[in-house]
Structure 1
């Protein structure tokens, strides 16, 4: 039986049974790190000699539960995920490819530094991805011990937080860490995402009780830092539970959304329900509740413009996916796309 202390649960057990309960060399085990096509796999929470196998032909992310082959050379099966934080791959040349940053997570912590100007637009994007992940989103604001005008920054970020919990915590002083630790009670898995220099590594070191992640100074003129976390890792918390730390990333590109946009902009969608016309475009139509809220100063026009951009981005992504599927279907049927085919660039 896979180790429940490693995060195994009823959902994973059901997905494993659907595969016929494959197992080899003590797996299913959990992926704790990925390096250039190699997975490090823990078979027990106390495993001191994890397996290291290739990811050939397998879509694997840190946090996944996998079964290795009999030769202990590669990942043979990936157990169905119960949650995953996914963005669009940002590498040049990738078109509409998913980038799974962490899998089988319970709480997603979106980390922002109080020392930097509040970035509402980034937080909105992160919240869309977090809501779509299937995990519970929460926000952590770091560096309160060295920040100025904390109240203003917190207020601006809360304004777009869609009602999710907001924590103020310091990895240096330890202030505010207890609610974060409590989220891992019962062997749950926490995941931390944020830009470089927001204090994520310092926070992680405090939570796991040791200096596991390297830290670096941020630049004084813009409070930006270098990527001190170089690989995504699954780490044990001192009081039980698990933590997935990820390298800081700049691009927060949407992947195919479920209800993430609606949940991240619930205040705007609630206003839309009050529009006089069901097909209101929120432009010049009479009785538009959205425009009325903007005029009254109750809705920031920048937030509404952000929503429109994200909806358009998602629509373009869906069309790209559909176009690629049409090409694949033609090739599968033995028909190569013609040069003047609108689906071919």
Structure 2
């Protein structure tokens, strides 16, 4: 804390610990220039403003550009209701996708330790989960696959075994928020003070899982339909909540699509088994397409590598290559524009010094 902040270190530490305050955040906050501000964490983002949890409680804060849910900020408190965001602290992880409506990054959540990939056991879509694992690893956080609605399948352990076999190296937890099965296992991965985002499709049971962890119906969920016993999706905005047993959850709306913003690191981490096989390819830059001596294609042909997993890898590999090329092109355009602005400013400066 700065010497002219509103509250002493001890009180800030005590009040923000449930929201993820630790030595890491304290160090980042100490790097902010001294001023009349306190630390806070963004718990919800509205249009043109955000709700921030700070030592004095929650404040509606104005910020331009708006931060993301999970961001830590330096907050200037104006009164018992309003505040201004003066700085956004450096992020250690960013969960994002390409905005489906434009060629920009859409940040879903920031400063995560975990991404809980929520998928219903009765509608197991492993190809989608592989994409979500890529995005989660790319964020800088660690993914954990959470199978919900275990009570809706005849053999839950068989479903988990299927997921483990396909998602090589992934952690998979089987749960049923309705019966309480597996909830303690999820709670343990959040302790002692980890921040996690819930990622998954609409109706996967993210809010039901969150409510089971919170021990109350803090987040809205849809009524269960009589015909298939599935809850309707109701989450419409991202919000951060503290879990009583320890840890922080960010509930997110179901995403119809998950276009990649970046992906080199995430692809390698999500498909480590494929990357290991690739070490035996004849060519170091093998794309596992038509090159001779491809160990990955050979493994898929013989059944050593699941063919559906290989197909998923190849599709995501192409999308990652496209996303990385697009990122490089944007970077080049930004650099060209920067030099144009510098040249223009220099010309204007020289012109201003000439006698008329």
Report TM bin, short chain: 0.7 to 0.9
- Cα offsets for 1:264-294 (capped at 9, x unmatched): 0111111110123334343454432212211
TM-score normalised over the length of structure 2: 0.83
Q: Quick check: 1:83 aligned with 2:90?
A: no
Alpha-carbon shift at residue 297 of structure 1 (Å): 1.1
Q: Secondary structure at the match of 1:68?
A: strand
Greater CA drift, 314-323 or 205-214: 314-323
How far apart, CA to CA, are the structure 1 residues paired with 2:229 and 2:127? Answer: 18
The equivalent residue for 1:29 is 40
- Please tell me whether the aligned partners of residues 98 and 259 of structure 2 are also in contact (alpha carbons under 8 angstroms): yes
Q: Is contact 1:197–1:218 with CA below 8 Å preserved after alignment?
A: no
**CA drift at 1:197:** 0.9
- Where 1:33 maps in the other structure, the secondary structure is strand
User: What is the deviation of 1:129?
Assistant: 1.2
Which one of 183, 187, 190 corresponds to residue 189 of structure 2? 183
Distance in 1 of aligned mates of 2:247 and 2:88: 22
Q: Does 1:9 align with 2:22?
A: yes
Flag the structure with higher helix content: 2
> Corresponding residue for 1:50?
58
Secondary structure class of the residue paired with 1:270: helix
Deviation per residue, 1:190-214 (Å, 9 max, x gap): 2211111111111111110111111
**How large is the RMSD of aligned CA atoms in angstroms?**
2.4
1:39 maps to 2:50: yes
Q: Distance in 2 between matches of 1:325 and 1:84?
A: 19
* Structure 1, unpaired ranges of 5+: 336-345
Q: Alpha carbons of 1:271 and 1:18: their partners in 2 closer, same or farther (altered >3 Å)?
A: same
> Helix, strand or coil: the match of 1:302?
helix
Secondary structure of the equivalent of 2:137? helix
- In the other structure, the counterpart of 2:71 is 64
What is the CA–CA distance in structure 2 between the aligned matches of 1:201 and 1:223, rounded to whole Å? 15
| Maintained 8 Å contact 2:115/2:199 | yes
Contact kept? 1:108, 1:137, Cα under 8 Å: yes
* Distance across 2 between alignment mates of 1:223 and 1:211: 18
Give the 3-state SS of the residue equivalent to 1:333 in structure 2: helix
CA gap of 1:152–1:221, structure 2 versus 1, over 3 A, is: farther
Number of equivalenced pairs: 325
CA distance in 2, matches of 1:106, 1:280: 33
Alpha-carbon distance between aligned partners in 2 of 1:19 and 1:241, rounded to the nearest angstrom: 25
Which structure 2 residue ranges, 5 or more long, are not aligned? Answer: 1-8, 342-356
Q: TM-score, normalised by structure 1?
A: 0.85
